Structure 1
Amino acid sequence: MKDLEGKVVLVSGVGPGLGRAVADRALARGANVVLGDIAPHRLGEIADELDPSGRRVVWAECDITDDDSCRELVARGSERFHGIDALVNVAAFDTVFGSLMNSAFDEWDPTIEVNVKGTLRMTRAAVPALKARGRGSIVIISSVGFIKPPTNAPHQLAYASSKGALMTAMRYLAAELGPDGIRVNTVTPGWKLGPVLEGYLRSVAEEQGVEYGTVLEPIKSSLALRELATDYDVGEAALFLCSEQSRLITGQNIHVDGGEIFG
């Protein structure tokens, strides 16, 4: 399916998991891709893997907590591909664990700075380029954790709160940017098989002295579909929201969680 043929998709936060999957599927669907990440060595490697020819991918180091860095990434993509049609906000910080009573609020600052302010900085930087196209799409990656606290994983109240804030921001942005032809939506994953989750589950299995599958199966059995989404499943949903197939969808949230929300 080449439903993004001729489009330019900017992806922020292109690590080895979801960001890479979004970029990979965008290329498969015909788009040219602009990649941004705070780790340039990793970013360059991923860009070379995705497009060895270098014709359809351009990348630049980007710190989404810095306005100039965000604007430079948009400018890099706009200059190379003559515009930007869609932005997928993947970049996030999620290493602060704890509940209300056992976490310090000052430890929340990087999470809020990256996930909320950083996502909005990146979005604000992209808006002029999207307006210049006459229409465009912004997708924000959320998390089911802001709706349904985990029962079998460490609490991440800071992370969940930041994603809840972005859900509210998405609806405000959809109303604000709609008159300019810019749609804004979120995709909400739950348990998601990829390098991050697999690494976590394997460490849990090792700590408990059990097989990896022993840790994985209870999670799968808690889902309505008895199957975990992958980074690619989430990426496909995000790119659907970037395509003309969703041209009248804005201010909406798509769950890609195998029915975790019903568990």
Structure 2
Amino acid sequence: MTRRVLITAGASGVGRAMAEAFDAAGYDVWITDIDATALQSVPEHWTARKADASNEADMSAVFQSMATKGGLDALCANAGIAGPTAAVEDVDLSDWRSCISVNLDGAFLAAKHAAPLMKAAQTGSVILTSSTAGQYGYPYRSPYAAAKWAVIGLMKTLAMELGPHGIRANAICPGAVEGPRMEGVLQREAAAKGMTRDQVYAGYAAGTSMGRFVEGRDIANMAVFLASDSARLISGQVIAVDGHTVNPDPKI
């Protein structure tokens, strides 16, 4: 029987890489995204819905539709935004709340509405996208780091709460991922630190033992593994896919 996966923010970036990887693994792929233009570019055999991951009405409608069409085997709660890059005293409260809403509320709402479908089947895999910012402090990224630490707390609780129903929960912590979102972070951090973009890029790479950024496919491959039977007893884990971060704020 074909398995079904839902990926939030699945039309581009890491989410798109996840969707492509699950598709290649034979899953029935459902994605949500707030970007209507990006949704138009996805393969026609995916089920694609415009939805705000932090809006409960939007997400409830998606899961209600899934309930009528066979349920859900794997959830990738992947929606997130970088948030502001600024010293804590310069972070506007509205920017703080926006970052927390998408990164944390989005993960919570996805898990909340996935749980009944998975409980009915007495199986499932919940995969939350956290970040290495959820394992270390990151100067000038206080809203993002706070949200991503909270995502890990949510995951640990889900693993305990849902485990008796045969449902696993894990968090993937990407490091610096090549792509447009990270490019924006590099530019803003360079301005905040009085450095060039290339200096900040080199600093992030030098902060890993492997000396490089990761790609969306690296995150996607881990997600497919965590959803598979090969990971049937892996739950409650924080798994970094980051080239091994050894210094989260390198000075070069």
TM-score range, shorter chain: 0.7 to 0.9
Q: 1:259 aligns with which of 244, 247, 250?
A: 244
For 1:229, what is the secondary structure of its paired residue?
coil
Q: CA deviation at 1:220?
A: 2.5
Partner in structure 2 of residue 104 of structure 1: 92
Partner in structure 1 of residue 122 of structure 2: 134
Aligned residues: 246
Partner in structure 1 of residue 3 of structure 2: 7
Does 1:95 pair with 2:83? yes
Equivalent-residue separation in structure 2 for 1:225 and 1:138 (angstroms): 29
Letter in 2 for 1:161: A
Q: CA deviation at 1:24?
A: 0.6
2:6·2:30 contact (CA, 8 Å) conserved in 1? yes
Equivalent-residue separation in structure 1 for 2:94 and 2:212 (angstroms): 37
Unaligned runs of 5+ in 1: none
Partner in structure 2 of residue 220 of structure 1: 205
Q: CA deviation at 1:38?
A: 1.5
Q: CA deviation at 1:149?
A: 3.4
Letter in 2 for 1:72: A
| TM-score, normalization by structure 2 | 0.87
Partner in structure 2 of residue 29 of structure 1: 25
What do the CA deviations read for 1:188-217 (whole angstroms, capped 9, x no partner)?
011111232245557989xx998x877644
Equivalent-residue separation in structure 1 for 2:15 and 2:182 (angstroms): 14
Partner in structure 2 of residue 241 of structure 1: 226
2:138·2:145 contact (CA, 8 Å) conserved in 1? no
Q: 1:175 aligns with which of 157, 160, 163?
A: 160
For 1:163, what is the secondary structure of its paired residue?
helix
Equivalent-residue separation in structure 1 for 2:66 and 2:246 (angstroms): 37
Q: 1:86 aligns with which of 50, 56, 74?
A: 74
Residues 162 and 17 of structure 1: CA distance in aligned 2, closer, same or farther (over 3 Å): same
Does 1:73 pair with 2:71? no
Partner in structure 2 of residue 163 of structure 1: 148
For 2:106, what is the secondary structure of its paired residue?
helix
Q: CA RMSD in A?
A: 2.6
2:49·2:62 contact (CA, 8 Å) conserved in 1? yes
Equivalent-residue separation in structure 1 for 2:184 and 2:100 (angstroms): 24
1:144·1:261 contact (CA, 8 Å) conserved in 2? no
Residues 204 and 159 of structure 1: CA distance in aligned 2, closer, same or farther (over 3 Å): closer
1:92·1:114 contact (CA, 8 Å) conserved in 2? yes
Q: CA deviation at 1:43?
A: 1.4
1:174·1:182 contact (CA, 8 Å) conserved in 2? yes
1:220·1:228 contact (CA, 8 Å) conserved in 2? yes
For 2:227, what is the secondary structure of its paired residue?
coil
Equivalent-residue separation in structure 1 for 2:33 and 2:138 (angstroms): 28
For 2:219, what is the secondary structure of its paired residue?
helix
What do the CA deviations read for 1:3-41 (whole angstroms, capped 9, x no partner)?
xx7211100012421110100111011111100011223
Q: CA deviation at 1:132?
A: 2.2
What do the CA deviations read for 1:143-194 (whole angstroms, capped 9, x no partner)?
112333346xxx1101110111111111111111111111111000111112
Partner in structure 1 of residue 15 of structure 2: 19
Question: What percent identity do the matched residue pairs reach?
Answer: 29
Unaligned runs of 5+ in 2: none
Does 1:123 pair with 2:111? yes
